[in-house]
Amino acid sequence: MKIIVGLGNPGKEYEKTRHNAGFRVLDKVANRLNIDVNKSKFKGLYGSKGMLDKKVILCKPQTYMNLSGDCVVELLKYYKADVEDLIVIYDDIDIDVGSIRIKPSGNPGTHNGMKDITKKIGSKDFARVRIGTGKPTDGRDLADYVLGKFSKEEDKIIEEVTSKAADAILEIINNSIEGAMNKYNQR
pLDDT digits (tens, 9 = 90+) for 31-53: 999 999 999 999 999 999 998 78
Burial of 175 (0-12, 13-18, 19+ CB in 10 A): exposed
Active site residues: 19
Q: What is the pTM of this model?
A: 0.96
Structural domain of 14: 2-184
What percentage of the chain exceeds 70 in pLDDT?
A: 99
Interacting residues of 91 by C-beta distance below 8 A, sequence separation 6+: 7, 18, 19, 20, 21, 22, 111, 130, 131, 132, 133, 146
The CATH number of residue 103's host domain is: 3.40.50.1470
DSSP H/E element including 40:
strand 39-41
Tell me what pLDDT residue 27 has.
98
Q: How many domains does the chain have?
A: 1
